[in-house]
Each structure stands twice: as structure tokens, then as C-alpha cells.
Structure 1
Amino acid sequence: MSLWERYLTVWVALCMFVGVLIGRFLPTVPETLSKFEYFNVSVPTAVLIWLMIFPMMLKIDFTSILNATKKPKGLFLTTTVNWLIKPFTMFAIASFFFLVVFNNFIGHELAREYIAGAVLLGAAPCTAMVFVWSHLTKGDAAYTLVQVSINDILILVLFAPIVAFLLGIGNVDVPMDTLLFSTLLFVVVPLALGFITRNVVVKKKGIEYFEHIFLKKFDGVTIVGLLLTLIIIFSFQGERILNNPFHILLIAVPLIIQNLFIFFISYGGAKACRLPFSIAAPAAMIGTSNFFELSVAVSISLFGLDSGATLVTVVGVLVEVPVMLLLVKIANSTQHWFKGYEY
């Protein structure tokens, strides 16, 4: 592993800390960046996510995408966990902790707001960031892309009805423009750029040059994109985090439990299906991680910037990266469980 990957947890913690400090002491930075938004999506963040995703898109041979669609077990597993298990277990776990365990600390009204934020996270499985976790577990990039593509389609159809059902809200106003624009930015654009770049380089220099020289030039780019993204995210939320340290700890508990539960359900399911590790690890990651851009945007739209629900979606980002890095380590250290499994 490279120096970046070996000490990634340290770099992540430092970037979160730097982001909070920037938000607290240099508020003009996030204020300026917030002006560059389109359909509630931060353009600077989108550019950095491109940096994360683009190197992985370069590795995709489009013939392998067609082959991935012929291997339905992993797709079925991911879809089942994401949409039939995850939103409902998130609601149950959040309700238990906020209404029962922590009710004396936060009160009933705020507990309901926190549950709403947790539901928004649980109903929005990951899209863009899963490419990072797939990269760190040496996952099958083409299969991950197919999983993400199917997930994006299902989000468009299922997100609003599930949120409405769990929260009892009949008129959930989901910003469809944000959904569509996020999908375009975080999947379609980097995929198209990767496809064009790969074809041009292979045509001019050959496949050997592309795989052994050209791709090496992008080593570390994904990690740098992740770290810079975290700085921007936490610069926007620094004041809120500093003003609510105890509640952030309380919110983090059910979110972490949910993440661990979903990961082991998915990972165990992948082993039961005898999926190869390159598919099993990303399949577990996509449900465990969250589409935080969508969750935050919808929460602000429904409940307001200063609501308890929005705070929960922000804490979701705070706990997700360290937890996902832990799960990446667990997956990489247990890949021998999948030895001999082939698709």
C-alpha cells in the first residue's frame, strides 16, 4: 500500500479537523464556495468527486459492463439490502435510541427530528463515494458501475415513497433536479470522460502503455480527491459541529450501529452467495455508505438548515468516512474467506 493508503485514517481525521477550523475561523471560505451551486449541488465538491471517480472509470473496459449484467446475484443482493432492509432497520434503530435510550437527553420533539434525518440517510444508499471504497478493496470497477447505475434508477423511483411511508409525510418534496443533476455529475460525466480518454490513449499508444504507464500517473488522485472533499464538507458544517458536541455523539451511536449491521448483512450475504471478493466487498459497501449529498439537500428542503434532521445528515458524513475505512480494512483482511469463489 502507498503512504496515502496506509495512513488514510490519519489523513481523514486531519482533513475533518482542518475543515472545521476553516468553517469556524475563516467563514468567508465556505461562504464563497456556497455561491458556486447548481440545483443544490456544490460545483467545487463535484469537481473533487470527479477526481475521486475518474481514475476508476479509466479502468473500465465497456465489454466487461455487458458481462456484469449477466451476473445477477451480486446485483440482486445489493438491491435487496439497499431497499428492503436498510431504510427500515435505520428507522427502527434510530427510533429505539432517540425515543427510548436518549430521550431524557434530547426530548421527544427533537428525537422525532433526528429520526427524520436518519431516515433520509437510510433511504439514500451510496452512489459516488462507493467508487472510492471499491477502489480501496480492489473491487471490480465495471460491476461496481452497474450496481451504482441500478441504484441511481431505484433512488429516482423509491426514495420519496419510502421516506413518505416511514415519516408519515404525504407530500415529500424531493428535489428531482438535485437527484438528476447529481447522477449526471457523479456518474455520467466521469464515465464519459473515462471512456473517451481510455479509447484515445489505447488507440494512440496501445493497451500495454495504457495499463502499465498511463494509469500509474493517477496513483493517489482518488485519495487526494477524497481528502479535499472532506475539507470542503466540514468547512460548511464546522460551526454546527462545534456548537453541538454532545448531541453529535448521541446521533453517531445509532448511525454507526446501522452501518455495521448493514455491512455484515451484505458481506455475509455475499459469502452465502459465493461471490468473489472483488464483487462481495463493493456490494457490502454500497449499502453501508450513504448518498449524503441527496440526504442533506432533501433535509434542508423539508425541514430547514437549522433543523435536527439536517444535523443528523451532517453527522452521517462525519461518522461515515472513519467507519467505512474500518470496514475496508475488515474486508481486505478477510478476503481469504472468498478464496476460490468465481462468478
Structure 2
Amino acid sequence: MSETTTAPNGSVAGRLSLVDRFLAVWILAAMAAGLGLGRLVPGLGDALAKVTVTGVSLPIALGLLVMMYPVLAKVRYDRLDTVTRDKRLLIPSLVINWILGPAVMFALAWVFLPDLPEYRTGLIIVGLARCIAMVLIWNDLACGDREAAAVLVALNSVFQVIAFAGLGWFYLSVLPGWLGLEQATLDVSVWEIARSVLVFLGIPLVAGFATRRLGEKARGRDWYETKLIPRIGPFALYGLLFTIVVLFALQGDAITSQPLDVVRIAVPLLVYFAVMWAGSMALGKTVGLDYPRATTLAFTAAGNNFELAIAVAIATFGATSGQALAGVVGPLIEVPVLIGLVYVALAAARRYFPGSQPLQAPAAGVEEGSARV
């Protein structure tokens, strides 16, 4: 994927390349292809699920690693200190992700699914798994701050290891008991969570950092950003589309055979993504963040770590459980909704953040107007 910028005049979305302008189409096509394969090829989902890494299909794991590596290779790690000093970004992000996010999903799950405990539990698990993977893609597409995204993702990873199991116990056992609601349990170890974080974030993060460090040392930053990055950039999109195809192939039969259940699960998810994204974007503007960092705050708040949620649901309740299905429906809704919010963010940039440069300047030698993905 490549870089983009915007001239003083004209809309951002209008300057996207043909591929990026219709990115939602490619993603929806990938989702349809996965669902079709899962429905039409007998045993495909079972075959993909048998080879696993931390409870997640190995093909999905490979797709996620390919997807995340180019984005993390683009991060300018020497600028991370400017993010870690920005308390207007860090404090709201921690509060939104680890206090408000799980609470909002808990409330929505009980409001919309009071009679479906398996799906409700699955949604609560999704709400506890804060995003450490695809948010990098959405943030990059919306021209958010890459360095800020890297820092917030790292913070989410640390808190995920420390807090996930405790929050699961609180929201599934303690809080329902206090409120006189039906209780559930979540038996997941800290090591299972840490292992997932190490695989899905640690590997591409180390690879991306090493690539930039060695590449700049050997050939300089200009060569790295004008020659190497344009070559490896497209693999993020390839990895994303591959991951989506495999993900939906795994549960294609379950999703297409239970459409009404999928709709019931989808409604609270739609509300969740809209509330979390819009509320976080508004908060970012209120506390004085510029467009790139407000956008990063919004997408890191709205996204969820579906690979961890699915892994936990499968390990705890089984691959064919309602909890696992709810985890799979998460990205079914999240992917098109957050792609739509990318376009909303780009279109709103000039109107709501007139004093801030919404997009990073293109790397030297990259044609202006090509999409930065």
C-alpha cells in the first residue's frame, strides 16, 4: 500500500486511488467468498480449524501477520516519544478502552440479548478484547497517526495481559450477581492471553522494527520510504483480504444457516461501534487533539481483538458454541462498519478539524493522490 496526501482544495476521499475508493467492495467480496466457500465446500471449516495457533486457525494467524507487518514497518519508531508525552491521548485511550468499552458492550449485550445467554456471553468477551491488530489498518486508511497507533496498541497489549481475565470474571460473574442477573464463567489463563498477544502483535512488531532499523542503517531513510515501503505495502491489503476469506470460511455454514441469530448479534455490535467511534472522536476534538490523533483514538476505541475473543470462546466453550459464533459475527460487522467510518473520518476531516493537517505528507517520490493504505 502507498502514501497519500491532500491538497489544500478538494475532498480527501476524492483523491483516493481506484483500489482504495472501492476497498469496501473488495472486503465485502472477500467476506462473500469466504461465506460461499464455507457453505459449499464440505468440511472446509473443520479442516481450517484443526491447525491452530493459540486457539486460532493457522491460516488466519498467517494472514494477520502478513497484514500487520507492512503497517508496523512504516512506523517511525524514533518519534514514539512525542506520543508517550501526550497525556491528552494516552489517558482518554486507557479510560475508553478499559473502563467504558467493556461496560458499554456489557450493557448492550444485556439490553439486546437478554434471552440468548450464549450470544450475550460471546459479545461480552468481544468487548473485553481490545484491538491490537486490524486497528492499524483502519487507522492507516483514515490517515491517523501511525506512531500514536503503535503506542496505543502496545498499551492495549499490556493491559490485555494484565486485565482480561479479571475483567472477564467481573463482567460475567461478579457484576451480574450484583445486579441479580444470570451469571456465567470465563476460565482463561493469563498465559493464554499473553501467548495470543505475543503471536499477533509481538512477531509483526519485532519484524517491522527490525526492517526499518536495518533498512535505514543500510540504505538510509529516503531509500527505505521511497523504495522498500512501496514494495511491501500492498501485502497489508493482501493479508487483510486473505484473513477475511479464511475467517468467514471457518463459520460460513453457521452464519448462513442461522441468519436471524446473526441479525440479533449484529444489532448491539452496530450500536457499539457507532457509539465508541463517534464518542471517542468527539472526545478527542474536545480535549484538543488534532485530526490524526483524534482519529487514532477513535479507531483504537471502536476496534476489538476478534482473534483473541474467538480463541477464548473456542477454548472455553467449544468451536460450535454460541459464544464462538458471536465472536465470528464480530468481524462480520466490524469490518464493513469500520471501513465505512474510514470514509466518514476522511470526509469530515476538513470540516471538524480545519486547523489540523489530516494527512501525512507523502514520501518523496510517491505520486501525490495515491492512497495511503
Fold agreement, TM-score > 0.5: yes
Equivalent residue number for residue 104 of structure 1: none
Q: Following the alignment from structure 2 to structure 1, what is the Cα–Cα distance between the partners of residues 55 and 347? A: 38
Aligned match of 1:68: 83
User: Residue 88 of structure 1 aligns with which residue?
Assistant: 103
Cα separation, 1, equivalents of 2:163 and 2:211: 34
Q: Which amino acid aligns with 1:199?
A: R
Once residues 251 and 171 of structure 1 are traced to their aligned partners in structure 2, the CA distance between those partners, rounded to angstroms, is 20
- Contact preservation (8 Å) 2:265, 2:329: yes
Please list, as runs of the form range in 1=range in 2, the aligned pairs for 1:324-343 lying within 5 A after superposition: 324-336=338-350, 337-341=352-356
Q: Distance in 2 between matches of 1:147 and 1:285?
A: 11
Q: Which amino acid aligns with 1:117?
A: G
Moved more, 293-302 or 226-235: 293-302
Instruction: Report the CA distance between 1:170 and its aligned residue.
Output: 8.0
Give the distance between the partners of 2:185 and 2:328, measured in 1 at CA: 23
The answer as to 2:121 corresponding to 1:116 is yes
Q: Is the 8 A contact 1:124 1:292 kept in 2?
A: yes
What is aligned with 1:51?
A: 66
Check conservation: 2:49, 2:56, Cα contact below 8 A.
no
Q: Deviations over 1:245-269 (max 9, x none)?
A: 1111121111101110111111111
Equivalence map 1:1-343=2 (5 Å)? 1-99=16-114, 108=115, 111-168=116-173, 172-336=186-350, 337-341=352-356
Cα deviation, residue 22, structure 1: 1.3
Shift of 1:236: 0.4
The normalised TM-score by structure 1 is: 0.91
The letter of the residue matching 1:165 is F
Q: Which stretch of the first structure deviates more once superposed, 144-153 or 332-341?
A: 332-341
Cα pair distance change 1:180/1:154, threshold 3 Å: same
**Contact 2:48–2:250 at 8 Å: present in 1 too?**
no
**SS, match of residue 50 in structure 2:** coil
Task: Tell me the distance in 2 between the aligned counterparts of 1:25 and 1:132.
Answer: 30
Question: Greater helix share, 1 or 2?
Answer: 1
Q: Supply the RMSD in Å over aligned alpha carbons.
A: 1.8
* Paired residues of 1:39 and 1:177 also in contact (CA < 8 A): no
Code of the residue aligned with 2:149 in structure 1: it is T
Query: 2: CA distance between counterparts of 1:166 and 1:177?
Result: 20
Between the aligned partners of 2:184 and 2:337, the Cα distance in structure 1 is 33
Q: What amino acid sits opposite 1:72 in the alignment?
A: K
Aligned residue for 1:34, secondary structure, equals helix
Deviation at 1:214, TM superposition (A): 1.8
5+ long unaligned stretches in structure 1: 100-107
SS of equivalent to 2:308: helix
Q: Distance in 1 between matches of 2:320 and 2:217?
A: 53
How far did residue 233 of structure 1 move?
Answer: 0.3
Distance 1:8 1:128 in 2: 18
Which deviates further from its counterpart, 207-216 or 230-239? 207-216
Provide the C-alpha distance between the structure 2 equivalents of 1:230 and 1:323, rounded to a whole number of angstroms.
14
SS at match of 2:144: coil
Displacement after TM superposition at 1:89 (Å): 1.4
> 1:330: Cα distance to partner?
0.9
Q: Aligned partners of 1:43 and 1:117: how far apart in 2? A: 22
Q: 1:14, CA displacement in angstroms? A: 1.0
SS of 1:334's equivalent?
Answer: helix
What's the TM-score, normalizing by structure 2?
0.84
- Structure 2: how far apart are the matches of 1:175 and 1:230? 27
SS at match of 2:133: coil
CA contact (8 A) 2:172 2:186 kept: no
1:132-154 superposed Cα distances (whole Å, 9 cap, x missing partner): 11110122222111101111111
Cα distance between partner residues in 1 of 2:338 and 2:64: 17
Q: Which whole-Å CA distance do the structure 2 matches of 1:97 and 1:38 have between them?
A: 32
Contact 2:101/2:128 (<8 A) preserved: yes
Q: Which amino acid letter does the alignment assign opposite residue 349 of structure 2?
A: Q
